[in-house]
Amino acid sequence: MKKLIECVPNFSEGNDMHIIDQITDAMKTVEGISVIDVDPGKATNRTVVTMVGEPEPICEAAFRAVKKAAELIDMTKHKGAHPRFGATDVCPLVPVSNITMEETVEYARKLAERIGKELNIPVYCYESAAFVPERRNLATCRAGEYEALGERLSSEQWHPDFGPRELNSWTAKTGATAVGARNFLVAYNVNLNTTSTRRANSIAFDVRERGRVKREGNPITGKKVLDEKGKPVMIPGSLKSVKAIGWFIEEYGIAQISMNLTDISVTSMHEAFDEVCRKAADRGIRVTGSELVGVLPLKAMLDAGRYFLRKQQRSTGVSDKELIKIAVKSLGLDELYPFDPKKKIIEYILEEEASKGKKKLVDMTLTDFADETASESPAPGGGSISAYMGALGAALGSMVANLSSHKRGWDDRWEEFSDWAEKGKVYQTELIKLVDEDTNAFNKIMDAFSLPKKSEEEKAARQKAVQDATRYATEVPFKTMKQCYECMSVAKAMAEIGNPNSVTDAGVGALAARAGVMGAFLNVKINAAGLEDKEFAAQIIREGEAIVEKANELEAEILKIVNSKI
């Protein structure tokens, strides 16, 4: 699974598209990143760019963009409505999938240090990347904006974390940059069956973390209650990490609750939706749907689908496509306009871009896949077929679990079977990926053999590439073996406790998975034979033989259970 982070740099230029294009072009020179949104604002004189990719390429693209912005933008001439203090004003890194906040902080700090050292730009680390609590808040780091920068750079308390501590001709031009690490922010609006902005605002104040001003007597017209410092006392709302306001959208003729979910690990989209539904109902207002502004991680949509299925006491071990459909319909994300997952979900956007011009086996029809396998090309071959057999075995196990979860009379066991279906789905997903990965591994070997070998250096580089590719082509089917064997546990459980009417499906699932083990092991052996590292080759063969033995024993157990129930 790839580690993905989002980077959302803000540049202090929103009018000159020639400058903006040069900055985004600098990002695009880095392979492995996708620029998915460029949003220039004329009044703010600011452009917000969103890019996604693996951490190293993202940090390189961010660095190149900061460098280009420093060359093209002169902060001594900048004017705009948005607070700012640098050509690249802010550059937050956001964990998207398979990466922790702690890891993201490390990348942010390394990027900040590099900008400071190599570009001589003052850099402040904020949010989770801050070195001291006082600098977590961006507004605090940027206090006084560009106009106060000269005084702050040289001060003992507010000097930058990296880069120069003085305002010279260069830093006066570039200003400072804030590099941070923060959680994913989702811009999310909930639609109401009212045109009243005031009523929408009341619901927004009910749910947002900041809440509403406390008043004496009448909660609307009463006198504000002030604290000892003369500031209004607030009554907190019901949702943490949520900012919200009510407004009227003339285009659609409805009022909305416009929310920023600043940390979806604290308050998710589906939790925010349900809470707005409750608070709206308390005020006699009905939620009719919702709207996602921008993009979000796949996990957020899958979590929403599972949440609504659990509320129905239905199995969550279904396909991602089905989970997304449930989420869209439950949240009403298609009320105002069609919701296209390929344009709204980060991982799908990246996948779409990466697959342009490429033919994936798993996207073929069954007939096309069979025809491709039968062609003169050596790939796809036995390794891909083994992975696909395992995926089908896992799918059958999930099918029996899903059928069992809503069997009449077994309603109280839906969660037990849902858990098994989820396990089967995990194995199926991994094995489906291995269908194409096995072919990719074979292609790596072919690519390595095609490298030049005229000089001694070229021969050595070619030999190393061949060995690296061969090792990888050995590891991939070994991984297939393990996944195929492990997914047999779902088939066994379903044979034992699942819907008895589907017991033979569990048996066929075990047969398919065990065939996947055996087929993948053949590929392990033939590829290991070409390895110079004989110790590794012997070890992986021994481990493979152990898996084969356990798979044979488990298949016999499962078939014995199946036959006893037929």
Structurally, at CATH architecture level, domain 184-299+329-336 sits in: 2-Layer Sandwich (3.30)
pLDDT band at 357 (very low <50, low <70, confident <90, very high): low
pLDDT value for 139 = 87
Could you read off the pLDDT of 171-198 as tens digits, one per residue? 999 999 999 999 888 889 999 999 999 9
**Which residues does the annotation mark as catalytic?**
82, 438
Bridge partner residues of 263 (DSSP) = none
- Of 37-46, 106-115, 337-346, 459-468, which has the strongest mean pLDDT? 106-115
Q: How far is CA 554 from CA 226, 348, 383, 390, 502, in A?
A: 71, 37, 22, 15, 19
pLDDT value for 359 = 78
Could you read off the pLDDT of 126-151 as tens digits, one per residue? 999 999 999 998 889 999 999 999 99
d(CA 538, CA 542): 6
Closest by CA to 212, choosing from 261, 263, 279, is 279
The CATH 1.20.120.680 domain(s) of the chain lie at 358-562
Please provide the size of the chain in residues. Answer: 566
pLDDT value for 360 = 86
pLDDT value for 544 = 97
The CATH 3.30.70.670 domain(s) of the chain lie at 184-299+329-336
**Over residues 460-478, mean pLDDT:** 95
Q: Please determine, for residue 354, whether its predicted confidence score (pLDDT) is greater than 80.
A: no
pLDDT value for 294 = 79
**Over residues 27-44, mean pLDDT:** 89
**Over residues 68-94, mean pLDDT:** 94
pLDDT band at 271 (very low <50, low <70, confident <90, very high): very high
**Over residues 416-423, mean pLDDT:** 96
Closest by CA to 528, choosing from 487, 484, 459, 481, is 481
Whole-model pTM: value is 0.81
The CATH 3.30.990.10 domain(s) of the chain lie at 2-179
Q: Please determine, for residue 250, whether its predicted confidence score (pLDDT) is greater than 70.
A: yes
pLDDT band at 219 (very low <50, low <70, confident <90, very high): confident
Q: Please determine, for residue 358, whether its predicted confidence score (pLDDT) is greater than 80.
A: no
Residue 341: alpha-carbon gap to chain centroid: 13
| Weakest-pLDDT range from 253-262, 344-353, 400-409, 425-434 | 344-353
pLDDT value for 350 = 82
Q: Strands 10-11, 46-53: parallel, antiparallel or unpaired by DSSP?
A: antiparallel
In angstroms and rounded to an integer, the radius of gyration of the C-alpha atoms of the chain is: 29
- Of 40-54, 297-311, 362-376, which has the strongest mean pLDDT? 297-311
pLDDT value for 431 = 97
pLDDT value for 241 = 94
pLDDT value for 480 = 98
Contact 69, 88 (CB under 8 A): yes
Could you read off the pLDDT of 116-129 as tens digits, one per residue? 999 999 999 999 99
Query: Which two structure tokens, joined as six digits, stand for 386?
Result: 């083994």
Q: At CB < 8 A and 24+ separation, what contacts does 208-212 make?
A: 208/237, 208/239, 208/242, 208/243, 208/244, 208/245, 208/259, 209/236, 209/237, 209/239, 209/240, 209/241, 209/242, 209/243, 210/234, 210/236, 210/237, 210/243, 211/235, 211/236, 211/237, 212/237
**Over residues 23-43, mean pLDDT:** 90
pLDDT value for 218 = 83
pLDDT value for 530 = 94
Q: Span 358-562: which CATH code?
A: 1.20.120.680
d(CA 105, CA 93): 8
Could you read off the pLDDT of 228-243 as tens digits, one per residue? 888 898 899 999 999 9
Q: Please determine, for residue 310, whether its predicted confidence score (pLDDT) is greater than 80.
A: yes
pLDDT value for 525 = 97
CATH of 2-179, one of 3.30.360.10, 3.90.550.10, 3.40.50.620, 3.30.990.10: 3.30.990.10
